[in-house]
Amino acid sequence: MIKLTELSDFARKQLARKRKFALVNNGTKKSGNKINESGDLEIELTGKEVKELDMIFKKFDSDLNMVLQTNLDEKVKPEYTKMSSAELEEMGVAITIDKSILDGIEEILELGKEAKDWYREMNEKILEAFGDSDGALFLILLAIFSPSMKLEQNLKAAARTFHGIKKDLSNPETKEKLEQIMEMKPSEVHSSLFPEMMTFKALENIRNPGSMKPNLLRVLKLYKSSGYNLKPKDAAREISKHMEPTGLVSKTSIISAEKLFSFTLNLLDPDFAFENGWVPVTMDTWMGSFFYPMLNKKQKSKLLAKEANYVYMAKLTQELAGKYGMTPPEFQAAIWVGLIKKERGENYDNTFLTAIDKNLKKLNIKIEEIKNADNFFKRAIAIVGDRGIR
């Protein structure tokens, strides 16, 4: 923490590098503000003014020094994605794992080995059922509706939203109104609009508008920008533009939050990799349980929210995957299902087919009745999406 008595020296050192503001602590105020050669306005403050600002920030439980570091220094964050797990450990930006957890890794991989192709199978089955454009949309919906949902709940939400979108777009009147909402910024969609928004089939399945509507609205805008002909690899490429070298998803991202961002890319293109070699890996609480078994759920959630620690776990996954002859998404899927089976029993089934079966049973439909139908997956998802056979 920098004391006020040290503030002027701190500011001068920053000015030498950034020259965005000029803060002086000599008790006098020079007349007029200057425009430096970079075109930035230089604002000169007296020591008294600096103290006044500090008092204002303290009233709001904030810290003027942090503002100075942001505005003056604007430090470029390290490009965590270009570092190894060992380098991240040395920097002290992540909680180093206890290497003893790796002693039992073979057991977990053995339990989950049949699930290693989970992303590829999901991708292939959905694209085969719906084609590239509708398939890409469905895969993205499956990703953004995944938080805090079991797979069968996730499937139902995605299926109903998918069919809601298709119905709204098939009606000229609702299409026009929905497109107007698509063009709005998420920040412009206030709670007063929710009742009207919920009249759209595309939006009525949003359980938590505050957290889910921004992602869905941005996805719909992406879908519209493609002329409603979205290709999986094109969608992955467009979404991937919004990841920063730190591992953080930018504020302009179509998909918010690192976990959802990676999950979306894994589903759209299981072989996707960034130009710098970084491979998106879905780090969820199960992976948090693998790397940090001593932490509780709340602690793991906090850990995943820190970009450096998220990248650290993803990097460990990438490094370990190579040692076991898998791609990072394959390794993550195997660990994910292996951990679940270790906790809930070896017969635990977490497949897409099981998720469909559970949803059909709730609609009093036996999977055997339609299993031999042409394009089974498309028909099954249509049934779930339409809440029954019509």
Average pLDDT over residues 10-21: 45
- What is the per-residue pLDDT for 5? 43
93, part of any domain = no
CB 116, CB 343: distance < 8 Å? no
- Phi then psi for residue 22, to 5 deg, are -115, 110
Asked whether residue 118 is domain-assigned, the answer is yes
Is the domain of 134 the same as that of 278? yes
Average pLDDT estimate for 140-154: 88
Total domains, the chain: 2
Q: Which of 35, 58, 73 is the last residue of a domain?
A: 73
Residues 16 and 107 grouped into a single domain: no
Together in a domain, 230 and 365: yes
- Does residue 140 lie within any of the structural domains? yes
**Tokens 């190894």, residue?**
84
Residues 6+ apart with CB under 8 A from 303: 95, 288, 292, 295, 309
> What residues pair up with 22 in beta bridges, in sequence order?
44
pLDDT in tens, 169-212: 999 988 998 898 888 776 676 666 666 676 788 777 665 545 56
Decide if 24 is inside a domain. yes
Same domain, 22 and 144: no
For residue 65, pLDDT over 50 is answered with yes
Alpha-carbon gap, residue 6 to 199, rounded angstroms:
59
Q: Say yes or no: 12 and 154 in one domain.
A: no
Render pLDDT for 237-263 as a digit per residue (tens, 0 to 9): 999 999 998 888 888 889 988 899 999
Q: What is the mean pLDDT of residues 9-21?
A: 45
Give residue 80's pLDDT. 92
How many angstroms separate the CA atoms of 342 and 332, rounded? 15
pLDDT at 77: 74
User: How many Å apart are CA 384 and CA 95, to the nearest integer?
Assistant: 43
Entry pTM: 0.76
Q: pLDDT digit string (tens) for 260-313?
A: 999 999 999 999 999 989 999 999 989 999 999 998 888 888 888 888 999 999
Whether 83 is covered by a domain: the verdict is no
- Which amino acid would we find at residue 261? F
End-of-domain residue from the set 73, 90, 117: 73
Phi, psi of 249 (to 5 degrees): -85, 130
Domain that holds residue 240: 99-385
Name the residue with tokens 């809930």: 344
Give domain status of residue 85, yes or no.
no
* Co-location of 57 and 195 in the same domain: no
